[in-house]
Amino acid sequence: MTMHSSMTRCLAFITPLALHVVLCAAADDQPLAARLRPLIDAHQGRVAVAIEHLTGSQRFAHHADEVFPTASLIKFPVLVELYRQAEEGRVDLKSQVTLRAADKVPGSGILTLHFSDGATFALVDAARLMTAYSDNTATNLVLDRIGIASTGETMQSLGCPNTRLHSKVFRRDTSIDLERSKRFGIGSTTAAEMLLLLGKLERRELVSREASEAMLAHLKTCDDKYKFRRFLPDDAVLAYKTGSVDAVRTAAGILYTPDGPVALCVLTADNADHRWTRDNAGDLLCAEIAREVFVTFGGHTARP
């Protein structure tokens, strides 16, 4: 009797629930690359992925050096630049910013619809809104303090030359590189460069130990539940940032698994699916990759 026929006869006596457990256990033994390749190959659009176990040796890369649009993922490098300037005393995180009608832009966030003109709050609170809710208006208020070009200059110095901010959000008229703005939108990066930043962040080497701790705290508040967090258990710890425009879905962050912290970045562009729905294909790809990473490194998913 062949192994295949023996397995078939054994499975015939297993209940559906037990069969599900057997198949899941078999899937858990697959190398990470074998689990990710079918997901990437099935996606209708361009994909770049980079994954690194930060306390081990396991890595995965797919088009990790290819430049992609970031959408709101660029707000993570903006956060880095804000804390760099604060560390140097060039900006004061406790200083007050005032919201004006002219500052308000559409899209994600809460300031535009829910805050009155003339509202004042600390610069660090604008950073919180930029990171937790991907607030576009808050992002522009931060950029008014740190400048647009400075983020790209700092990324260049950190070994991330393709990670650039091109303009304020929904303000193409402020672009410092119109050709790149037309090609990539608000910002650009590579999956490999995102992993470089995340590795420094987890080692508390990004700006300073204190700044790294503060930035990790910001990133752990990200409220996007459709990408990395979607299939993970409620108590899974993530420090991450995401981005979305019609044909682009992006996510990068640190997933704390039972086997240790794992940095991961998923960039998609030219997606066939432009829908703003729960089952958007780009969002689902980010979520499925995060699930496979979590399970590979000892975790168990709890959501269907």
270 and 218 co-located in one domain: yes
236 and 281 co-located in one domain: yes
Would 17 be classed as within a structural domain? Answer: no
Q: What is the CATH number of the domain that holds 132?
A: 3.40.710.10
50 and 128 co-located in one domain: no
CA dist., res. 16 & res. 67, Å (int):
45
73 and 92 co-located in one domain: yes
CA angle, 66 then 68 then 70, to 5° = 145
295 and 185 co-located in one domain: no
Helices assigned H by DSSP within the chain: 3-11, 16-28, 32-42, 75-87, 111-114, 123-132, 136-146, 149-157, 178-184, 191-202, 209-219, 281-296
99 and 182 co-located in one domain: yes
Domain span holding position 289: 32-66+191-299
Would 22 be classed as within a structural domain? Answer: no
Would 169 be classed as within a structural domain? Answer: yes
196 and 252 co-located in one domain: yes
291 and 195 co-located in one domain: yes
**pLDDT tens for each residue of 30-72:** 689 999 999 999 999 999 999 999 998 899 999 999 999 999 9
Contact indicator for 48, 68 with CB cutoff of 8 Å: yes
**pLDDT tens for each residue of 264-292:** 999 999 999 999 999 999 999 999 999 99
Q: What is this structure's pTM?
A: 0.90
The count of domains in the chain is 2
91 and 182 co-located in one domain: yes
Structure tokens belonging to residue 279: 């089952």
The amino acid occupying position 87 is: E
CA dist., res. 46 & res. 270, Å (int):
6
